Amino acid sequence: MARKRQSPYIWTTWLTRLLVGEHSCEWGAWFKTHHESNSYEKIPGSFDLTAWQVEHTTRVKEIREKLEVEGKTVFLESQNGFVLRGATAALGGRPDLISTFEGNGIIIDIKTGKPSPTHHVQVMVYMYAVPKVLQQYRGIEFDGRVIYSNHEVSIPASAVDEKFISNLSSLIRRLSSTTPPRKISNPVECGFCDITANDCPERAADAILQEGETGDF
Ligand code: SF4
């Protein structure tokens, strides 16, 4: 049975699909925010984690070496973990690489799959949180970068503006609330959600789109 956390805790990637509007069911993220992740069953993914880890680690190493050749100081994923505590919840994350050079900073995430706006928002959450929580970066304004296999997307520091912070904060407050949000069961979102029917009996069974016919066109 799912065990309650002592206090609400949110991992950055639980927020990204909701922030970009790709998903609208907040219940799964709310459930994770309030329950210890090792205390409930999850739907196993079809994703080949080992192959991803090998490819990801190789890319991180290549990019770190390139940045160091350019004279930049680079900190790795294992050095970049953070927990930012607010009044309602703690927000955790771990950027792949953080690079600094002459007072400027850049936060980098490396993606091996298809590009998605969720990746950009993930880096924006890091850009917001890292200077607040990691002592060595206090006062540094960070740009962001998402590096794919064949192109990069740069995110200016100005993207983390009042509107973004307000949307992020509102979502975190909703997920931290003791009142659960309404479930929005639908085949597409449930297909991406790892909460089982034990914890979410409303889980939509199959990703079958309903079809009909019209004579209007
Ligand atoms: S299984 Fe579906 S309804 Fe349940 S939390 Fe996940 S997305 Fe929402």
pLDDT tens-digit readout, 143-158: 999 999 999 999 999 9
Instruction: State which of 30, 34, 193 you would mutate to test the pocket of ligand 1, scoring each by most atoms of that ligand within 8 A of its C-beta.
Output: 193
Of 209, 215, 195, nearest to 2 by C-alpha is 195
**Nearest residue by C-alpha to atom 2 in ligand 1:** 190
Task: Find out whether 124 and 160 touch, Cβ atoms under 8 Å.
Answer: yes
Question: Is pLDDT larger for residue 147 or for residue 45?
Answer: 147
Query: Quick count: other Cβ atoms within 10 Å of Cβ 144?
Result: 25
Per-domain residue ranges for the chain? 9-192
CATH topology of domain 9-192: Lambda Exonuclease; Chain A (3.90.320)
pLDDT for residue 200: 95
Average pLDDT over residues 81-88: 96
DSSP per residue over 65-89, as a string?
Answer: HHHHHTT-EEEEGGG--EEEE-SS-
123 vs 125: CA distance, rounded Å? 5
pLDDT of 207 above 60:
no
Encode pLDDT of 129-139 as tens digits. Answer: 999 998 888 87
Protein residues whose CB sits closer than 6 Å to any atom of ligand 1: 25, 27-28, 183, 185, 189-190, 193, 195, 200, 202-203
Enter the pTM of the model. 0.92
CA of 206 to the centre of ligand 1 (A): 12
For 169-187, what is the mean pLDDT? 96
Dihedral pair phi/psi, residue 187, rounded to 5°:
-60, -35
